[in-house]
Structure 1
């Protein structure tokens, strides 16, 4: 259920400075400058796991209506509603329908307020209060999981302050996370997939752009996740990220450390590392190649927790088969390579991942991903996507193949 929690203090922050504007603005700008957005996304998803589960075949339709107001003295509002509906049979486990004999396709039916917010923009930043989308940096630690039909959004307040042209300071307070498993809980809900995560989380992020060659981002994410996995995902993560482009080569280097927070019963002392580089060959039809090495530390003696990223857009990382949504106790080392290029009016991309344990010598498995997407020219706003993931298990999980066919219309 949507719980708007706009305190008098939050409202005051939003309205601060309006009275001091130098010229009068007509209140009618709020509706005259407004717009309506419509989005419909059909998806077929097939999951084949080498275990006792039946193959999943899911057809779902996500419809979204967005109402965006105009601005009045920097103040605006947005309301967005989503509905996810099954098409045809429910031969899949959506985590709420009780179809445990099938593989999981985590797109439960239901309608929900996806966003409902007030925003105030001023010369040095903005303040947003209410239910909102939050995507920080590359979404490795905080994101909206937009790949799934029910997006992950956040109830709270966020402010961005830009005291210098190249410096952005971001702070957010979150008291509820509306997960992709919503909108509702029932008797099939498990400790790891609540519809809403209660708690008190603080997100702090400082980014300075020195030049195209170097952007430096420092962050501290304090996640109090009271009803997720018995608090074992509550953590404090401190990190530093460097990225940029040098002589046509894009790069990223990142380090983070994680410890327990908010009454987490586990002791956590785990690190995160990333190095990545890519290059676009303009003379080869803009072929982009990229490789990287990402490490989420595990626990060698099984007494502490592994490095976790509970609020990340996880589908963007460690392969599209989503084998490592929760980091195994042994951690994960992911060596990956791939690329993309324009093709027949669209874009094709392919990736290879080699997964190994960080603590120990286990070779978890490897994965191959390929996708092709393009706009469909006969209808403006219509696009299509075909996507495939093939995970070959060695010492972790089971062989898994996933196929998606998607049509999306945006107006």
Structure 2
């Protein structure tokens, strides 16, 4: 299957030169893009019966975008992506049978990560097929690009920016292809998102994410930049409510119940390159007898939120309160360095306990001089466990990564 997929991508790169005749052009103005991303990841968990994971993996993507039929606005894009392990697989990818090791969810897999038709008319764009969808800050809908294989959506998406400063996006999603090689999950979901930029200091975004057999989530976010004499302050203030699912997937949960809330406030100041910020995010939970549910964001790029140790990819039953502080520096040529501290608690006590632990996250990334498109990254997460069940053990994760885009 791997060879077939990569061969198909190779054939497609030749098509723009082959399928043309006098007076007729099937493909034209072909543009190619690609990425190679090798990575080392180490995972160690305190008092674990598993061996520490040492994962050497590489992601390679080859993409083609081309106009179709000589028609203005009509085009096609197709990306082939493969993830392969380098050397011994001393990690549990969830599919490689190495259960003696800790999990690094980067299984070997090859697929068409994108394959869609696109039509543009003025400032309206329609895409149909497998595609990457990233909305807002990816807290609810994202491509999970941190993992080596990205998350794709089988969907029809329409976006429009005809009205100045107003952007509207609507999507019907019938399949979700996650980061592993499992078959695409069937769904019958609708995604609605709109934003209006009043000025640089205020953009208002509203959304309704109708995930079939899961829940409906409606929310409002305010974002912007506030310039001051010595600094620029970026902020995000957001509230969302999660209610019963209004749509069902064939074979899925019928009339899925949900009752949860979300709110978040993030502030980051840039003082001549010095980064200082803080945030407080709450995903509400349940006491077990109050009829509430834990707020969830199953289609998000979850690694970006609540600590890079990925302890809270699933919201605890009692919910999650994440108070964070950020200190860093960024400058041309010097790259970006950050340290982030998290203090985690439940929204509602679980068995009389609420301490979900703390975490320190460290990051340094920079472009590597001399080669356009080449960058490097070093990253670490140190999670210290709390007293709530399943969250008591310390976790350490380390990453070293190169990325080359062309």
Specify the TM-score bucket, using the shorter chain as the normaliser: 0.7 to 0.9
Q: Spell out, residue by residue over 1:60-88, the C-alpha distance to the aligned partner (whole angstroms, 9 max, x if none).
A: 11111001114731111101000111111
Question: Does 1:335 pair with 2:323?
Answer: yes
Question: Does 1:35 pair with 2:31?
Answer: yes
Q: Is the Cα contact below 8 Å between 1:78 and 1:117 reproduced in 2?
A: yes
Out of 287, 305, 308, which is 1:317 matched to? 305
Tell me, in whole angstroms, the C-alpha distance in 2 between the residues paired with 1:316 and 1:307: 17
Out of 216, 222, 239, which is 2:219 matched to? 239
Instruction: Report the counterpart of residue 11 of structure 1 in structure 2.
Output: none
Out of 347, 359, 369, which is 2:361 matched to? 369
Q: Is the Cα contact below 8 Å between 2:282 and 2:320 reproduced in 1?
A: yes
Mean Cα deviation higher: 67-76 or 83-92: 67-76
Instruction: Report the counterpart of residue 103 of structure 1 in structure 2.
Output: 102
Instruction: Report the counterpart of residue 401 of structure 2 in structure 1.
Output: 406
Q: Is the Cα contact below 8 Å between 1:372 and 1:386 reproduced in 2?
A: yes
Instruction: Report the counterpart of residue 155 of structure 2 in structure 1.
Output: 156
Instruction: Report the counterpart of residue 47 of structure 1 in structure 2.
Output: 43
Instruction: Report the counterpart of residue 287 of structure 2 in structure 1.
Output: 300
Structure 1: which 5+ runs fail to align? Answer: 2-25, 186-194, 225-230
Task: Name the Cα RMSD after superposition.
Answer: 1.8
Q: Spell out, residue by residue over 1:37-57, the C-alpha distance to the aligned partner (whole angstroms, 9 max, x if none).
A: 121110010000112221101
Q: Is the Cα contact below 8 Å between 1:235 and 1:264 reproduced in 2?
A: no
Q: For residue 59 of structure 1, report the CA deviation from its aligned partner.
A: 0.5
Instruction: Report the counterpart of residue 147 of structure 1 in structure 2.
Output: 146
Q: Is the Cα contact below 8 Å between 2:154 and 2:176 reproduced in 1?
A: yes
Tell me, in whole angstroms, the C-alpha distance in 2 between the residues paired with 1:249 and 1:30: 46
Q: TM-score, normalised by structure 2?
A: 0.86
Structure 2: which 5+ runs fail to align? Answer: 2-22
Tell me, in whole angstroms, the C-alpha distance in 2 between the residues paired with 1:399 and 1:126: 47
Out of 368, 371, 391, which is 1:379 matched to? 371
Instruction: Report the counterpart of residue 290 of structure 1 in structure 2.
Output: 277
Instruction: Report the counterpart of residue 343 of structure 2 in structure 1.
Output: 354
Out of 64, 89, 99, which is 1:67 matched to? 64
Q: Spell out, residue by residue over 1:72-119, the C-alpha distance to the aligned partner (whole angstroms, 9 max, x if none).
A: 311111010001111111111111112222111000101100000111
Mean Cα deviation higher: 152-161 or 376-385: 376-385
Q: For residue 29 of structure 1, report the CA deviation from its aligned partner.
A: 9.2
Tell me, in whole angstroms, the C-alpha distance in 2 between the residues paired with 1:355 and 1:264: 33
Secondary structure of the residue aligned to 1:315 is: helix
Q: Is the Cα contact below 8 Å between 1:212 and 1:244 reproduced in 2?
A: yes
Secondary structure of the residue aligned to 1:34 is: strand
Q: Is the Cα contact below 8 Å between 2:215 and 2:256 reproduced in 1?
A: no
Tell me, in whole angstroms, the C-alpha distance in 2 between the residues paired with 1:387 and 1:129: 36
Instruction: Report the counterpart of residue 268 of structure 2 in structure 1.
Output: 278
Tell me, in whole angstroms, the C-alpha distance in 1 between the residues paired with 2:98 and 2:284: 34
Secondary structure of the residue aligned to 1:164 is: coil
Tell me, in whole angstroms, the C-alpha distance in 1 between the residues paired with 2:363 and 2:301: 18
Q: TM-score, normalised by structure 1?
A: 0.85
Q: Is the Cα contact below 8 Å between 1:297 and 1:332 reproduced in 2?
A: yes
Instruction: Report the counterpart of residue 257 of structure 1 in structure 2.
Output: 241
Instruction: Report the counterpart of residue 4 of structure 1 in structure 2.
Output: none
Q: For residue 126 of structure 1, report the CA deviation from its aligned partner.
A: 0.6
Q: For residue 251 of structure 1, report the CA deviation from its aligned partner.
A: 1.4
Distance 1:146 1:331, change over 3 A: same
